[in-house]
A and B are shown apart, each in its own frame.
Chain A
Amino acid sequence: MSETFRNRLLLLVALALAAVYLFPLYWMYITALKTGSEMFRTPPSFWPDEPQWAIFPFVFQLKGMAQFLWNSVVIASGSVALIACLGTGAAYVLARYRNVWVDVGLFLVLMLQVLPASLMITPIFVLFTLTGLLDFPRTAVVLAIAAKSMPFFIVLVRATFMSVPMELEEAALVDGNSRAGAFWSIVLPLARNGILVSAILIFMQAFGEFVYSKSLIQEIELQPSSVGLNAFMGPNTNEWNRIMAFASIYVTPILATFVLLQRRIVSGLTSGALK
């Protein structure tokens, strides 16, 4: 068996595996494009007879998705901005020193990373009610998400800072830079890619966040797409093509971003999660 033949065969098997694994995604798009009667046909058709492209603008209008998506973007951007501003500094300090206090801090961060949102929402809801924060529901969600995801961001970005050679920073200090100056003009630019990838990962997570938004936001016009999708799926719904159209519009930006930046995201993720 020659080398090229082996490679081709393995690639073929890999493609088949990927096709099976990603079939649910394919089914989401295909269902969206089917007519109401074709959707319930047995045996199911694996390619729509007449693709109903008009369903995307139709559902977008019908469900007021512009507002839902805008809220998702506002919540995700707010969370990422807050997390990046606060988390980057913490990650830098935790990467630069090695002593007992850093170990304690790291341990605390890792412990906070694991608290399930659906268990934390009860005390957060009551505390936010007591402090009046619930009158600003989107801000409340941003704060809750920031507290939940910042530890993950710190762990990922810390791995990036570990790979920045300390000699460069020391050289900048010798040249008369202050600590803050060296951090701002030497260390941060060198770690920029890692920070950016981690921020994108956090953005994707926050863009799909559900528990906090569902529990803290009552007003429909302030809810993000995840809550909108949940409300769309009643218990006995039969509008599956429309629901899948909603879902497609919602995830396509995330999928596109992921496929474009796949290599960087995967390597950023693997450097942080186990190291």
Chain B
Amino acid sequence: MRRLYSSLVDGRGFDLCLIGVPLAFLIVLSGLPLVYNVVMSFQAVDMFSLGSFIRPWVGFQNYRELVAQPEFWPIMGHTATFLAASIAGQFLLGFALALFFWLDFPGASWLRGLFLVSWVMPGLVVGAVWNWLLSGDFGVFNFVLRELHVISGNVFWRSDPTFALWSVIIANIWLGTSFNMILLSVGLSSIPADLYEAAELDGAGALTRFWTITLPMMRSTIGALISLGLIFTLQQFDLFAAITSGGPNNASNVAQYWAWDLSFKQYDFAKGAAISVIMIAVVMLASVYYVRSTRHEVRG
């Protein structure tokens, strides 16, 4: 007993205890649901069997039914569009802003940090604000576009099937641009300045310097950021709930919203689990890449 106590206070036991308790907590509350999700996706689950562990095993039937649903492929397509457009928009705008704030001037770092409010705000609030900004008849977004002569009539962002997905994408780009910018700024500031001085002496123009120094030096940051963007974009749920609820008629529905909708609106937990398993596999692949691209930095 004494030895156990002294090990806990002053030996191996101290470390094992510090790491063991949180690890056990995570395994029970994250790992277990993860495994249970896979199990459930192979079972027949209805409202009556929800409360019992033992349910009929149906093999891949949930998956087959899921793929056979007419909305499956459109929703997968929307997910791909949402991912690609959000990540591209966030990254390009973020990179442009980061390059601008890299021109060091008084107040630059403070102002740059201020942009991050879009990222710390609750997603529901961002969604509510953009819902109002993108309103068809009275939205200020339409007003600005009309004044700039981009559009002639009002665009009904949330209710027009062509634009519903884009209304969420616009809001998501706004939300994530600042985060991209901050991380890209960190990457930019770690490029040694003498590289640019040497290139300038050799007569390289601004564009050449960007292509031959900035981009290659930023490769690992960009790789990490793109996979991080993939991870964050696949987590985006609040904006869908606040702006379109996946509608009209699934025109703006994406996999992560559909999974929740199947489980909690249609009470089809088995299909909800099946689509979750598919998407979690995608996220896992992205995160393996993310971990690998930050690997040398992880070791500090």
Instruction: Write the residues of chain A forming the contact surface with B, with a CB cutoff of 8 angstroms.
Output: 6-7, 10-11, 13-15, 17-18, 21-22, 24-25, 27-28, 31, 39-40, 42-44, 86-87, 89-90, 92-94, 96-98, 105-127, 129-130, 143-144, 146-148, 150-151, 154, 162, 178-181, 183, 201, 204, 207-211, 214-215, 225-226, 229-230, 233, 235, 240, 243-244, 247, 250-251, 254-255, 258-259, 262-263, 265-266, 269-270, 273-275
Q: In the complex the two chains form, what is the Cα distance from A263 to B238 in whole Å?
A: 27
B241 partner residues in chain A, CB cutoff 8 A: 210, 214, 230
B275 partner residues in chain A, CB cutoff 8 A: 119
A123 to chain B, nearest CB (A): 4
Using known A-B contacts A13-B100, A114-B231, A266-B116, determine if residue A179 contacts B183 with beta carbons closer than 8 Å: no
B276 at the interface (CB under 8 A from A): yes
Q: Which of B116, B124, B132, B221 is in CB contact (< 8 Å) with A27?
A: B132
Q: In the complex the two chains form, what is the Cα distance from A154 to B18 in whole Å?
A: 12
Cβ-defined contact, B125 with A179, below 8 A: no
Cβ-defined contact, A118 with B237, below 8 A: yes
B82 at the interface (CB under 8 A from A): no
B259 at the interface (CB under 8 A from A): yes
Using known A-B contacts A115-B34, A254-B122, A274-B297, determine if residue A243 contacts B51 with beta carbons closer than 8 Å: no
Q: In the complex the two chains form, what is the Cα distance from A40 to B139 in whole Å?
A: 9
Cβ-defined contact, B117 with A25, below 8 A: yes
A124 partner residues in chain B, CB cutoff 8 A: 29, 33
Instruction: Write the residues of chain B forming the contact surface with A, with a CB cutoff of 8 angstroms.
Output: 8-11, 14-15, 17-19, 21-23, 25-26, 29-34, 36-37, 40, 45, 50-53, 97, 100-101, 103, 105-111, 113-118, 120-126, 128-133, 135, 137-138, 140, 143, 174, 177-178, 182-183, 186-187, 221, 224, 228, 231, 234-235, 237-238, 241-242, 245, 256-257, 259-260, 263-264, 269, 272-273, 275-276, 279-280, 283-284, 286-288, 290-291, 294, 297-300
Cβ-defined contact, A116 with B235, below 8 A: yes
Q: How many inter-chain residue pairs (CB < 8 Å) link A and B?
A: 295
Q: Which of B109, B114, B126 is in CB contact (< 8 Å) with A18?
A: B114
A96 partner residues in chain B, CB cutoff 8 A: 15
Q: In the complex the two chains form, what is the Cα distance from A7 to B296 in whole Å?
A: 37
Cβ-defined contact, A210 with B122, below 8 A: yes
Cβ-defined contact, B294 with A274, below 8 A: yes
20 contacts between A and B (CB under 8 A): A21-B115, A27-B129, A44-B140, A110-B290, A110-B291, A120-B30, A122-B260, A123-B276, A130-B53, A180-B10, A208-B238, A211-B238, A230-B124, A255-B117, A258-B120, A262-B116, A263-B113, A265-B113, A269-B182, A274-B294
Q: In the complex the two chains form, what is the Cα distance from A68 to B300 in whole Å?
A: 42
Cβ-defined contact, A10 with B123, below 8 A: no
Cβ-defined contact, A114 with B287, below 8 A: yes
Q: Which of A108, A123, A262 is in CB contact (< 8 Å) with B113?
A: A262
Complex: chain B residue closest to A12, CB-CB: B105
